[in-house]
């Protein structure tokens, strides 16, 4: 997949099954609320539907499902209010629609959910376990850090962790991914132990053994009710395509927008105060 430089992408920050099974990718932008298509094809259908899922961060109570046919593949796109109608063509680089903060996405970085593409992961090409960045957004519930030092796996950039790139919402989702690396055994992260499941150039982490294997028989129902799998949110780490990755920290801070901080040091200090 070839995105515009600076595009935010995420595989494993969502608890919905298609992400857990590495069959979907979320795509957004740090400074735009419109979805620029990275695919060309024909809009086959558009469905608007109400969402009963509780979410205090949602700004609307509905969502959209767009089906796009692209090169004989049927692509499902969610969380985008489309400007186009069925039968119309979309080209790569066209604005497909407006990103919405629905009950599925409220509290996350605004994004489109894209499902139906084959996904693969590049190996780490430059590693540094640094979380240095700049505060770019601050609210009562969380603040965002744009990383200025990051790890790279091909064109993908993100927060360095355990030899790879951390892509996760922890401990809330109870699982996540380490992009570009194959880690065997257990790891300690955010004061917790995580078990690993190794795939090609990616390691999935889970807060307890069997969590991912049995996802559809328990955790998936918690996700639909917007309940935490493993605890309240602390960190959401998303990736960037040739740009600056973003980390959302769910805590209060004295830092102001524009201040430089280190994500790992900030988390360590926060956890130390909680003890």
The span from the CA of 173 to the CA of 230, in Å, is: 6
The span from the CA of 6 to the CA of 261, in Å, is: 21
Is the pLDDT at 152 greater than 80, yes or no? yes
Respond yes or no on whether the N-terminal peptide bond of residue 210 is cis (omega within 30° of 0).
no
In whole angstroms, what separates CA 192 from the centre of its chain? 21
Give the pLDDT band (50/70/90) at residue 256. Answer: very high
The span from the CA of 147 to the CA of 158, in Å, is: 8
Beta-strand relationship, 95-99 and 80-82:
antiparallel
Give the pLDDT band (50/70/90) at residue 274. Answer: confident
Is the pLDDT at 80 greater than 70, yes or no? yes
Q: If you write DSSP's letter for every residue of 64-107 in order, what string do you get?
A: EEEEEEETTEEEEEESEEESS-TT-EE-TT-EEEEE---TTTTT
**pLDDT of 275:** 62
Tens of pLDDT, residue by residue over 92-146, are 999 999 999 998 887 788 899 999 999 999 999 999 989 999 999 999 889 999 9
Tens of pLDDT, residue by residue over 205-240, are 999 999 999 999 999 999 989 899 999 999 999 999
What is the reported pTM?
0.94
State what percent of residues in the chain have pLDDT above 70.
Answer: 100
* Mean pLDDT on 159-185: 97
The span from the CA of 206 to the CA of 215, in Å, is: 11
Tens of pLDDT, residue by residue over 39-70, are 999 999 999 999 988 888 888 999 999 999 99
The full set of domains in the chain, from first to last, is: 24-115 (2.70.70.10), 132-274 (no CATH)
């Amino acid at each position: 997949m070839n995105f515009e430089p600076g595009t935010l992408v995420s595989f494993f920050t969502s608890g919905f099954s298609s992400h857990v099974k590495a069959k979907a990718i979320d795509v957004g932008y740090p400074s735009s609320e419109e979805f620029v298509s990275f695919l060309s094809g024909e809009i086959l259908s558009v469905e608007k539907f109400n969402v009963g899922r509780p979410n205090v961060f949602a700004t609307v109570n509905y969502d959209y499902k767009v089906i796009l046919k692209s090169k004989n593949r049927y692509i499902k796109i969610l969380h985008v209010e489309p400007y186009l109608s069925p039968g119309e063509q979309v080209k790569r680089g066209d604005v497909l629609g407006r990103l919405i903060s629905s009950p599925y996405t409220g509290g996350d970085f605004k994004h489109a959910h894209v499902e139906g593409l084959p996904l693969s992961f590049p190996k780490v090409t430059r590693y540094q376990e640094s979380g240095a960045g700049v505060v770019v957004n601050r609210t009562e519930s969380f603040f965002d850090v744009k990383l200025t030092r990051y790890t790279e796996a091909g064109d993908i950039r993100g927060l360095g962790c355990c030899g790879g790139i951390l892509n996760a919402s922890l401990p809330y989702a109870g699982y996540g991914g380490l992009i570009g690396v194959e880690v065997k055994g257990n790891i300690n992260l955010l004061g917790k132990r995580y078990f690993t499941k190794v795939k090609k150039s990616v390691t999935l982490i889970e807060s307890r053994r069997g969590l991912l294997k049995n996802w559809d028989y328990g955790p998936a129902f918690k996700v639909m009710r917007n309940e935490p799998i493993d605890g309240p949110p602390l960190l959401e780490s998303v990736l960037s395509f040739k740009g600056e990755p973003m980390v959302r920290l769910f805590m209060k801070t004295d830092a102001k927008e524009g201040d430089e901080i280190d994500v790992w040091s900030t988390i360590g200090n926060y956890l130390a105060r909680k003890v």
